[in-house]
Amino acid sequence: MTQSIQRPSGRTADQLRDVRITRHYTKHAEGSVLVEFGDTKVLCTASVSESVPPFLRDKGQGWLTAEYGMLPRATHTRSDREAARGKQTGRTQEIQRLIGRAMRAVFDLELLGARTINLDCDVLQADGGTRTASITGAFVAAHDAVTKLLATGRIERSPITDYVAAISVGVYEGVPVLDLDYAEDSECDTDMNVVMTGSGGMVEVQGTAEGAPFSRNELNALLDLAQGGIATLIEKQKAALEITHG
């Protein structure tokens, strides 16, 4: 898998950036995690509310949902503030829907009870991979929120059924590489985001040909890379949560 290539960052093809997961980053939220994939920094908070959206009223289950935002100058050039423009872009909506689905894939919503966990993923600094960092960090924030619900007796059994993390992969100068940073992302022919669980099941595979279409072989090479990367990320989640044997 480790084909010879010169990545802008000097990493090998299957090398993640430095990943740091800092819990309790802010003080008010039930879960608050700063997740860093290299220079990409996302603040993920989990907020618990004792209500559910209208479509779940009286269904005896809970809900997880996510919102995503980028500070205007998280990027190389300033982008418009969505609150000032008066609407969220299609990209923002796509990402927050993806994060929500990823979280719900590892939650038993009936065990959660009639309450909602709001995951807010706000990008403080962007350098590629903000959606995969968001998913990886949001899970840890949600886990902390669940720990509080258990500690205060509001729920008796954890609704969490597995770990979940995400990584991007892409074909850069003809070679499949793991965890694209901005320099690579803007040059890639193919860009794929993969979400997987701790037990190795796939939750989301979203591959897009930015330039030339990709082949089944490339797809397979990318998925192999992603599988390895996600396994490492889940180790880091466990370490952050101080869970010695998951």
Residue ranges binding a second copy (CB under 8 A):
26-29, 32, 39, 41, 43, 45, 47, 49, 67, 69, 71-78, 81-88, 90-94, 96-97, 101, 105, 118, 120, 122, 124-126, 192, 196-197, 199, 201-209, 212-216, 219, 223
Q: Which is nearer to a second copy, 59 or 85 (CB)?
A: 85
Which of 156, 179, 160 lies closest to 238 in space, CA to CA?
160
Q: Which is nearer to a second copy, 47 or 61 (CB)?
A: 47
In DSSP terms, which residues pair with 213 in a beta bridge?
none
User: Is 45 assigned a ligand-binding role in the annotation?
Assistant: no
Q: How far apart are CA 89 and CA 208, in angstroms?
A: 19
Q: How far apart are CA 61 and CA 133, in angstroms?
A: 28
User: Is 129 assigned a ligand-binding role in the annotation?
Assistant: yes
Q: How far is the CB of 64 from a second copy (least distance, A)?
A: 14
Angle, to 10 degrees, between the axis of helix 130-151 and the axis of helix 216-240? Answer: 40
Q: How far is the CB of 192 from a second copy (least distance, A)?
A: 8
Q: How far is the CB of 125 from a second copy (least distance, A)?
A: 4
Please report how many Cα atoms fall inside a 13 Å half-sphere around the Cα of residue 40, on the Cβ side. 29
Q: Which is nearer to a second copy, 12 or 71 (CB)?
A: 71
User: Is 81 assigned a ligand-binding role in the annotation?
Assistant: no
Kindly report the CA angle at 241 between 35 and 148, in degrees rounded to 5? Answer: 100
Q: Which is nearer to a second copy, 60 or 201 (CB)?
A: 201
Burial (CB count <10 Å: 0-12, 13-18, 19+), residue 189: middle
Q: How far is the CB of 225 from a second copy (least distance, A)?
A: 13
Q: How far apart are CA 193 and CA 230, in angstroms?
A: 11
Q: Which is nearer to a second copy, 39 or 235 (CB)?
A: 39
The DSSP call for residue 176 is: E
User: Is 104 assigned a ligand-binding role in the annotation?
Assistant: no
Please name the residue that has the structure tokens 């740091």.
Answer: 20
Q: How far is the CB of 83 from a second copy (least distance, A)?
A: 4
Q: Which is nearer to a second copy, 94 or 185 (CB)?
A: 94
User: Which backbone phi and psi does 61 adopt, to 5 degrees?
Assistant: -145, 165
Q: How far is the CB of 127 from a second copy (least distance, A)?
A: 8
How many other C-beta atoms lie within 10 A of the C-beta of residue 129? 26
Contact 24, 45 (CB under 8 A): no
Binding residues: 91, 129-131
Binding residues for phosphate: 91, 129-131
